[in-house]
A = this chain, B = another copy of it.
Amino acid sequence: MPRAGLDPAAVVAAGAALADEVGHTGLTMGLLAERLGVRTPSLYKHVGGQADLNRRIAALALGEAADAVGGAVQGYAGRDALAAAARAFRTYVVAHPGRYAATIGVEPTGPDDPMAASSARLLGAFRAVLRGYDLADSDVDHALRMLRSLCHGFATLQAADGFQWSADVDESFEWLIDFADRGLRAS
A contact residues vs B (CB 8 Å cutoff) = 104-105, 107-108, 119, 139, 141-143, 145-146, 148-154, 156-157, 160-167, 171-172, 175-176, 179-180, 182-184, 186-187
Smallest CB separation, A20 vs chain B (Å):
15
CA distance A2 to B66 in the complex (A): 59
- Contact: B183 with A141, CB < 8 Å? no
- Contact: A179 with B149, CB < 8 Å? no
11 further contact pairs, Cβ within 8 A, besides A107-B164, A142-B167, A146-B179: A104-B156, A104-B160, A145-B163, A146-B176, A148-B157, A149-B157, A153-B156, A179-B183, A179-B187, A182-B183, A183-B183
**Closest residue on chain B to residue A101 by CB atoms:** B105
**Closest residue on chain B to residue A153 by CB atoms:** B153
Q: List 23 A-B contacts (CB under 8 A).
A: A104-B162, A107-B164, A108-B164, A119-B164, A139-B175, A142-B171, A142-B172, A142-B176, A142-B179, A143-B179, A145-B163, A145-B176, A146-B175, A148-B157, A149-B157, A150-B150, A151-B153, A152-B153, A152-B156, A179-B183, A179-B187, A182-B187, A186-B186
CA distance A183 to B150 in the complex (A): 13
CA distance A150 to B143 in the complex (A): 12
Integer count of this chain's copies in the complex: 2
**Closest residue on chain B to residue A154 by CB atoms:** B149
CA distance A153 to B152 in the complex (A): 6
Smallest CB separation, A28 vs chain B (Å):
15
Give every chain B residue within 8 A of A146 (Cβ-Cβ): 150, 154, 172, 175-176, 179
CA distance A155 to B76 in the complex (A): 30
Give every chain B residue within 8 A of A157 (Cβ-Cβ): 145, 148-149, 152
Name the 6 nearest CB pairs between A and B, nearest first. Answer: A153-B153, A149-B153, A183-B183, A142-B175, A141-B167, A149-B154
